[in-house]
A = this chain, B = another copy of it.
């Protein structure tokens, strides 16, 4: 009886403490959330970034303006210890606007194209060649004998039935199509833009050459013009050559920076929680959703913690990573420096999928860590953002990936509904106007909630 009483009392105490601390967490998360939803600065920070800085391609003047914006915005948000972490970045330049048209076409029968990032250019003289349209790599391999001296046109569509996988499925042609075609002697490649949008905007992005084969020019063509080209190849332009001129080139590496700002932890200042997005963007537009939104959401967490009076136990470090798009030099540098300094990184989070309605997180960590995280789902249900996916040792974002490799740091990637992102990704439509303020803020809310929980309870 006596024993039972003690157990009952202890159980009661335990439940009370648990209920109290849960309640305390709900209250603090609500306070932070209200701060973001009612007084958030993410949207106005994004406006300044998009309209005063604009594109931020690695090595460009925009990158340096973006770094200055980052330093100032972090300071304004209340970060202490704001600093630049130097790293060398590739310096690819687009040059004069690209041109593509059938050589004997009448009128202004041009195609909307953009050089693919990291590609070599054709030079001023351009190339004139027949176009061989292929459906996919298998098709290319079957028709390898036709390729030599010609332009290969990868007309692989974005598969809208793959709700979360269409980009990964189609991007292979942009990233490795050039070398695949060069292997058979192609002189250039044209790639159907990797997007669900059906319009006149080409979508750029990076390629990676395979050093075993010649580097050939590579362009992305808008989805409408991919169909126009395909129809032309079946119709009156069947036997004609296409003239292609691109003026891009890779200059020597130049200096770039990760931009970093922190709040130091009150109890465990040496335990670091990294949260970030990437500073660089493609040059076709403002890099609003890729990845202005990830940066302003990350900075907003820090601002909201300060405004809500939450003093983190651990060090919250906001990182605006350099060069995600065509080199990942910032993410690699950050992890290298962390290794050199023997820092302790307990968690890293990235937002790099645009600011649509948040759905939850991709969790790359140990099973034990995920068991803890899963137990926090209840805090995300009110926001309808409680879909967590787990992958043991998996990733949460390109920039934070090297931390996983070096330290096994637990990874969180913000997931969103994600159906609009690839409509504007790497294209002229990636502008401030295509970001919704409330969705942007809700992303910041759920990121802040997760950072709060990991900060408070560890991982």
Question: What is the interface of chain A, defined by CB distance below 8 A to chain B?
Answer: 33-34, 37-38, 160-161, 163, 196, 198, 356-357, 359, 382-384, 387, 417, 419-420, 423, 436-439, 441-442
Task: Pick the 4 closest A-B CB pairs, nearest first.
Answer: A357-B417, A419-B438, A37-B160, A37-B161
Q: Given A196-B438, A423-B436, A436-B423, decide whether A417 and B161 contact each other with a Cβ distance below 8 A.
A: no
Docked CA distance A355–B253 (Å): 46
| CA A33 to CA B439, docked complex, whole Å | 27
Contacts of A384 in B (CB 8 A): 163, 359, 387, 417
Q: Are A436 and B417 in contact (CB under 8 A)?
A: no
Q: Which residue of B lies closest to A360 (CB)?
A: B384
Contacts of A359 in B (CB 8 A): 384
Q: In the complex, what residues of B have CB within 8 A of residue A356's CB?
A: 357, 417
Taking the closest CB of chain B, its distance from the CB of A5, in whole angstroms, is 41
**Complex contacts, A439 vs chain B, CB 8 Å:** 417, 419-420
Q: Are A161 and B438 in contact (CB under 8 A)?
A: no
A257 CB to nearest chain B CB (Å): 34
Q: Closest chain B residue to A34 by CB distance?
A: B161
A284 to chain B, nearest CB (A): 20
Shortest A31–chain B CB gap in Å is 11
Residues of chain B within 8 A (CB-CB) of A161 are: 33-34, 37-38
Contact across chains for A163 and B419 when beta carbons are under 8 A apart: no
Judging by beta carbons under 8 Å apart, are A383 and B163 in contact? yes
21 A-B pairs, CB-CB below 8 angstroms? A33-B161, A34-B161, A37-B160, A38-B160, A160-B441, A163-B442, A196-B437, A198-B437, A356-B357, A356-B417, A357-B357, A357-B417, A357-B419, A359-B384, A417-B417, A417-B439, A419-B436, A419-B438, A419-B442, A420-B439, A423-B438
Q: Distance in Å from the Cβ of A227 to the closest Cβ of chain B? A: 15
Tell me the complex Cα distance, A451–B285, Å.
42
CA distance A417 to B163 in the complex (A): 16
**Could you say which residues of chain B place their CB within 8 Å of the CB of A383?**
163
A442: B residues at CB distance < 8 A:
163, 419
Give bound CA distance, A438 to B356, whole Å: 14
For A423, the closest partner residue in chain B by CB is B436
Contact partners of A419 in chain B: CB under 8 A: 357, 436, 438-439, 442
Task: Give the docked Cα–Cα distance between A236 and B1 (Å).
Answer: 77
- Smallest CB-CB separation from A35: which chain B residue? B161
Which residues of B have CB within 8 Å of A37?
A: 160-161
Residues of B within 8 A of A423 (CB): 436, 438
Return chain B residues, CB-CB under 8 Å to A160: 37-38, 438, 441
- A45, B372: Cα distance in complex, Å: 48
A420 to B357, CA, bound (A): 10
- Bound-state CA distance A129–B423 (Å) is 50
- Cα distance A442–B356 when bound, in Å? 15
Chain B residues, CB < 8 A from A382:
163
A161 to B442, CA, bound (A): 10
Partner of A436, one of B33, B163, B420: B420
CA distance A38 to B160 in the complex (A): 7
The smallest C-beta distance from A223 to any residue of chain B, in angstroms, reads 12
In the assembled complex, how far is the CB of residue A390 from the closest CB belonging to chain B, in whole angstroms?
A: 16
